[in-house]
Each structure stands twice: as C-alpha cells, then as structure tokens.
Amino acid sequence: MLSYPTVRTSLAFLAIAVVGLAFADISITAANPWRDLGNFFLGVVTPNFFSSEGLLTALLRTVAFAFVGVALGSFFGFFLALAYRSWPVRTFCAFIRAIHELFWALIFLQFFGFHPLTGVLAIAIPYAGIFAKVYSEILDEADPDPGRLLPPGTGRISAFLYSKIPDCWAQMRTYTAYRLECGLRSSAILGFVGLPTLGFYLEASFSQGLYSDAGAMLILFYVLIATLPLWVRPRLIPFYVLGAPFFLGEGLPIVWGNVQRFFTQDIIPSPIRNGEGVAGLMSWAGDLMVEQALPGIWNTVVLTQVALVVTGILALLAFPLISNHFGGPVRRTTGHILLVIGRSTPEYILAYILLQLWGPSMLPAVIALALHNGAIIGHLIGKQTNTLQLRPDATTGFSRYTWELVPRVYRSFLAFLFYRWEIIMRETAILGILGIYTLGFYVDSAIQNIQFDKAMILILITAALNIGIDTLGRFIRRKLALQTMPTC
Amino acid sequence: MAINRIRKFLVSSVLLTTAFTASAETFVFTAIPDEDETKLVERFRGVADYLSEQLDAEVRYIPVKSYAAAVSAFRNNQVQLAWFGGLSGVQARRLVPGSEAIAQGVEDEAFETYFIANTSTGIKPAEEFSELTDELKGKTFTFGSKGSTSGRLMPEYYIRETFGDKPEDVFSRVGFSGNHTRTLRLVEAGTYQVGALNFQVWQKELGDGNIDTDAVEVIWKTPAYPDYQWTIRGDVDERFGEGFKGRVKEALLNLKDPALLESFPRSGFIPASNDDYEPIRKTAEEIGILD
C-alpha cells in the first residue's frame, strides 16, 4: 500500500498533524462544558423568533449584502477572467482572494465606517478574485471546435460570445449560484464586526446566553439557505440584483477625507511617520515580527494542519450518511440534514459557539473547521458514491465501506481536501479575532490599539501565507494528478 | 402572477428607500460596548431621547461591536459624541484635535478595578496585590476587552508592576472575554480562575442579585484612577450651530432621571477636562498600548 503516492502523502500529512497536535493548545477550560452545550441545544429546540425587533431586518440585510456583493464580484471577476493569462492579473486575483472577507471589512471600517459600501466591498473584492480564477478555468476547458468552425474574419468579441459562452454558460451559472450560498454565509458573519447583518444579533444574544434567541436566528439562517433553490429562480435574479441595493440600509455617511488619511497616514509605519529613520523602522519591524507575526504564523500553521487532517477523517466518516450503499431512506434523510447544517453554518459561527461553551483553546477551532469542511467534503464524496454501480454480490457493511467505496473515491476525496487547504488556512487566521492566538488575534489587537500600520503588515503576511499554501496545494494536486471542481 | 410579485417587490423597495432617507443633520453618538448589548441599547436609547428633547435636534445612538470601532467612528466624524472609557477617550482625543472631555460620572473621578477569583481556587482577599503573587502564578486569567481601561489597562499595569512580567508569563492562560459582564460570568463558571473587571459592574450585578457569591469573590481592589467620560468633537459648533457644544454639556450635567442614571450606573454627571486623563495616558504609554 505504501507504494501508492496518495497513501504516502496522506500518511505524511497525518504525521505532521500528530506532531502539530503535540504543540497545539488543546483543552476544555470551561468548568461545565456539557451543561452549557445542553443549554444551547435546549435553546435551539425552543427557539424564540420574537426576541429582537431587528431580526427580520437583519435577515433582509444579510440577503441584500450577499446579492450586491456576489453580483459585483461576479461582474468584475468575469472581466478579470478574460485577462487571466497575464501574470499581473493572476497575481492580483490571488492576492485579493487571499484576504478574508472579515479582514477586508475591518480595513474598510476604518475609513468608510458604517456605510453599506464597507460590507459590499468586503464581499465583492475577494469574490471577484475567486470568480476570476474559476471562470477562467471554465473558459479554458471549453470545447475549441466551435471556434474553429467560425468563418474567417469573425471579430474576437463575436467569436467569444458565439463559440465560448454557450459552451460554458451552464457551468458558470451553476458556480455563480453556488457562490451566492457562500455569499450569504459571508454576509452573515460580517455582523460580528458591526455590520447590520445576522451575525450582529447572533453575537449579541450568544454572548448574553440567550440561547433561544440565538437558536431562532440559526434556524432562520438554515431555512434561508435550504430554500435557496425555491426563491432564487433564474428569471427573478435581475430583479433581486437591482432591488438589493435598496435594502442595504443607509448606515452613516462617508467622509472622504478619512479615505485619504487612511492611505497617506494611518497605514504608513509609525517610525516613518515620526521620522525615526531606517534604524527606527528596523527595530519596529523586528519587534512586530518576533512578538506578533512569528507566533501568529506558527499557531496559524499548526492549527491549519491539525484541522485539515481532522477534516479529512470526519469527511471519510460522514460520507456514508448520505450514500445509497448503506441504510435506508430515513437514515439518509437525517444524514442529509446533518450535513446541510454542518456546511451551512460558517466556521466562524461554529467556532464562536464552541469557544463560548468550552473556553478558549485551539480545540473549538479545530472542531468547528472540521465540522464545516468535513460536512462539505463528506457531502460531495457521498454524492459521488451514489453514481457508483457495485456488483450485485459485493460485500456489505463495513467491508463494503473499506474495500469497495473508500478506494474508489479516495482520489477525489484528496483532491477536495487539498483544494480546501487554503480555505481552511484563511479561516484559521480569521478565527484569531475570537481569541485563539492565530494571525487574526494580532491583527485584531493592532486594530484595537488603533495601530493600522501594524494591522496592515500582519494582513499582508496572512495573505502571503495563504498564497503559499494555495500554490503548494496546487503543486501536490498536480503531482498526484488529482482533479476537482471548486468549492467554497 | 410573477409580474405582480415583482411589482409589489419594486414598490416596497421604493417605499423602504424613502423611509430610510433621514434628515441631513442628525447628531449621532456611540458608546464603548463594555457590557451586555441589550442593556447598552436600552440605556443609550434613553439618553438619545433625553438629548433629543433637550437639544431640540434629531439624536441617534449607534451600537458598535468593539472599543476601536467606537474610537474610529468618532475619529471619522460619523459620530460626534461618545461615552468612552479612560483609555478609549485618550486614544480618541489624540486622534481628533480639538475634541474635548466634557462630562464624567461622579464615580469616574475615582474608579476602581476589582480582581475576582473563582472560589475553587481558594484565593483569599488581600489588602496588597503583592500578597497574592504566589497564589496567582500559573492560574488562568481573563481581561475584559482589549481596549478597556478597567478591564485591561489598569489590571495589566498592576500585574506588570507587581510581578515584573508580562501577563502571559505570569498566568498559564490569558484571555480577553470581550466585556465586563462576560468576565464576571466566565470566572463565576470557572472557565477562567481569575479575572479583572469594572467595579461598578460588579456592584450593580451584586445589588441586582445576579452573582453567585459562593462561586466567585473579589480578591483585590486597585487604587483609584479616572475613567469613563463623555467626549465631543471640536467641530460640532460649526455643524450644529453656535453654542451647541455648551448645550450638550449642560444637558449631560443636568441629567437627573434616576432610572437613566441607574442604568449607567452613575449617581450623576460632573464636568471633566482632557487633563483629568493624563494619568491614563501615561500608564498606556508605559505598557505600550499607546506609542
């Protein structure tokens, strides 16, 4: 078995995670973690839908921000995709998508403040980077034959519209619709930093132990996502997109002087601002590296590697839940619901809940990342097993799982896992805002101390780390000849 | 059918937009989120109503999610007045030249931080912080918010002064609960063994019967320091009319509604000045929160 590269790679990652686990801070510090968890579930089954007058408005805002953000992202992403061959465009896209929505929001909050533009751009910018990449991949894979059959002298635009687009349209549409679901999740968590979406109220009720209120909000959010196919019909989309900007709320007016101040003063390293020269700058940068960046990078990497492997294990355990090869329809329906809940709940919200219940350590973060990402991968792999035809006399039960199914789906499983590697790291960094000592913790601390120069450098370091992992993930996938479709 | 729905949708969106276009000159204020949000919203909606009546202007309160967000909104002129803590006030006034501390609570002249411990630790109350050094070493500890004066700045100052070390080196785990109410709940539940919080929040919760005194107790009280204050931007007179700043100050000093004062909790408001907060600025510089 060790002769298989996929197995060797898996074992290597497993070993790294085990070593990482030795360094990771894993513990439950709450005195009564299970009682609190019980109270939380009690809250979810006794939801209080009338807690806050702002709840419905928040839901409306969550949808509005998602629509506007995703629409702008796909619009600009499409044009970037057309120029994706040029490396400056590729690098630019990799850079803007390497910075998490919440980081973008924290940046814009400093100069646009509580204006709807903050939330819209926080979604639109990273999404444009992702759309550009995926659209360009779809366009590259289009069948070249229709283009060859066009009469000579056909203009480039006509050729593009008549030979490329028809072939890619369905795929692009599916992917864009899928991103809308991601957009709703992104939009919801923007509330945690103060935008008027669902996260704002969720954070407030959770932190006060109002679990029935929080439960109601989570349920409404699941219903919103589960019913997406019902209310997002192709014909209605133009109306939604045109209407959504009117539902963003008015926020507070933008003062343009703040924008200029942010870029010309706030983010200039303070030694330069104060004219302390190169020596001052070096010692400033040195302190920042030693006291914040390096510990942040270390914790981010350790947490990412542990979470990645736990995600993989969970996905392998979860896929039989929805697989036709096991159990009956009742169990599969329950399995579907469980996986939908897992993948609809943003990691950030899961981690927030578990941190409140178990106290601060890397454990809640690992579990949150693994539950969310494991549910996504488990869902995809489970669906894939449903397309497999086994021999009528194939073994059943555990043997069927280990000898028939896992070997058949293992390559696509790894492909999904390595695809999500970078996504897990992006989330890991952001979970620092909740108090785990990853890069996000230091970014948040710098912002709390009104030191935007430090915050920007730490965000840039986070972005560089993500780009590095993304490249490495692609390298490994190419080496192992793994192919996958994008997930978010 | 579909057309009808779309028409309804468009009409309602137009209605909503017009409803949201408020008048141009609304006086907006905010407050640091130092306690449970429900309480803050209740308290400051009351203040907004009171100010709006006194100033004869539209006054709006904006809740924010972090201390820094309150400072940024003030600096960016999206809010013109704020109820800051000692540290956030110093930060804000440094960033907005001409801004002024105009009023503080009676209790804010001599504010205190209480160190609290879960009773399972067996730590007994002490007069001097130095008597507790052996017992505190290696315990888990939580501050309030990263930007808090009573929940972060002052406790960190006394920890550094007494132990000669950073909090991370004194305690086995250091956290930031987010606000004072949460610090209380976390130490009460034993999630953290020790914590530091605003003494007013402790006393109010104690008075309301919200503290399980068998589970958590005060182990040390810091010396007094200046804390919360109302800070206003220097350019409000230009924007809202001559003498506006004076009228805001007067309105705050004349706030006598017992229910509203009780919600702070303060017994009343008295004049304050920027210089009152010099000790806070020096402390913040000493531990590197201000550069």
By the 8 A CB rule, do B76 and A113 touch?
A: yes
Half-sphere exposure at residue A231, Cβ-oriented, CA atoms within 13 angstroms? 13
Residue A290 in contact with partner chain B when CB distance is under 8 A: no
Residue with tokens 């790291």: A425
Helix (H) or strand (E) holding A454: helix A452-479
How many C-beta atoms lie closer than 10 Å to residue B42's C-beta? 12
**Amino acid in the structure at residue B3:** I
Other Cβ atoms closer than 10 A to A37? 16
Q: Is A447 on the interface with B (CB under 8 A)?
A: yes
A435 touches chain B (CB under 8 A): yes
Distance (Å) of CA B279 to CA A350, B17, B161, B218, B282 = 41, 48, 15, 25, 5
With 50 as the cut, is the pLDDT of residue A228 above it? yes
**Residue A450: left (phi > 0), alpha (psi -120 to 50), or beta?**
left
Chain B residues near residue A265 by CB distance under 8 angstroms = none
pLDDT for residue B14: 41
Q: Is the pLDDT of residue A312 over 70?
A: yes
Instruction: Round the CA-based radius of gyration of chain B to a whole number and report it.
Output: 21
Look up tokens 């990412």; give the residue: A304
Closest Cα in chain A, distance from residue B74 (Å): 10
Helix residue ranges per DSSP H, A156-210: 156-159, 165-190, 198-207
**Percent of chain A at pLDDT exceeding 90:** 67
B78 and A CB contact within 8 Å: yes
Give the pLDDT confidence score for residue A146 in this predicted structure: 85
Task: Give Dmax over CA atoms of chain A in angstroms.
Answer: 79
Give mean pLDDT, residues A5-23: 94
Give the residue-averaged pLDDT of A205-234: 89
Q: Looking at the predicted structure, is the pLDDT value of residue B17 above 90?
A: no
Q: Is B284 on the interface with A (CB under 8 A)?
A: no
| Domain A1-31+271-488 listed as CATH 3.50.50.60 | no
DSSP state of A151: P
CB B78 to CB A447 under 8 A?
Answer: no
Confidence class of residue A482 from pLDDT cuts 50, 70 and 90? confident
A352: contact with B, CB 8 A cutoff: no
Q: With an 8 Å Cβ cutoff, is B6 touching chain A? A: yes
**Residue B225 has what DSSP assignment?**
B
Task: Give residue for tokens 């864009």.
Answer: A176
Cβ neighbors of B22 (< 8 A, separation 6 or more) are A250, B58
Is the CB of B261 inside 8 Å of chain A's CB atoms?
no
Q: Chain B: residue nearest A115 by CA?
A: B78
Mean pLDDT, rounded, of chain B: 90
Q: What domains appear along chain B, each with residue ranges and CATH number?
A: 23-109+227-286 (3.40.190.10), 112-221 (3.40.190.10)
pLDDT digits (tens, 9 = 90+) for A121-169: 999 999 999 999 999 999 988 888 888 888 888 888 888 888 888 889 9
Model confidence at B23: pLDDT above 60: no
Q: Measured on CA atoms in the order A119, A124, A126, A127, is the torsion positive or negative?
A: positive
Core vs surface per residue A334-356: b (16+ CB within 10 A) or e: ebeebbbbbbbbbbbbbbbbbbb
Q: Is B11's pLDDT higher than 60? A: no
The whole-model pTM stands at 0.89
- Flag whether the ipTM exceeds 0.95: no
Nearest-neighbour CA in chain A from B102: distance (Å): 23
Task: Note whether B175 contacts A360, CB cutoff 8 Å.
Answer: yes
Distance to chain A for B196, nearest Cα, Å: 17
pLDDT tens sequence across B34-78 = 888 888 988 999 999 999 999 999 999 999 999 999 999 999 999
- Which of A202, A207, A444 is the best mutation test for B, with the most CBs of B within 10 A? A207
pLDDT band at B24 (very low <50, low <70, confident <90, very high): low
Answer CATH for A52-266 from 3.40.50.2300, 1.10.3720.10, 3.40.190.10, 1.10.3470.10: 1.10.3720.10
How far apart are the CA of B65 and the nearest CA of chain A, in angstroms?
5
The model's confidence at residue A488, banded by pLDDT at 50, 70 and 90, is low
* pLDDT band at residue B289 under the 50/70/90 scheme: confident
With b for 16 or more beta-carbon neighbours within 10 A and e for fewer, the B201-221 pattern comes to: bbbbbeeeeebeeeebbbbbb
In angstroms, the CA B179 to CA B66 distance is 10
Q: Where in chain A is the domain with CATH 1.10.3720.10?
A: 1-31+271-488, 52-266
pLDDT band at B7; cut points 50, 70, 90: very low
Contact between chains at A30 and B189 (C-beta distance less than 8 A): yes
What the block records as the tokens of B185 is 């709940």
Q: Is A56 touching B (CB cutoff 8 A)? A: no
Task: Give the whole-angstrom CA distance, residue A120 versus residue A440.
Answer: 21
CA-nearest residue to B7 within chain A is A239
Mean predicted lDDT score pLDDT of chain A = 91
Question: Do A293 and A458 touch, CB atoms closer than 8 A?
Answer: yes
Sign of CA dihedral A186, A187, A192, A195: positive
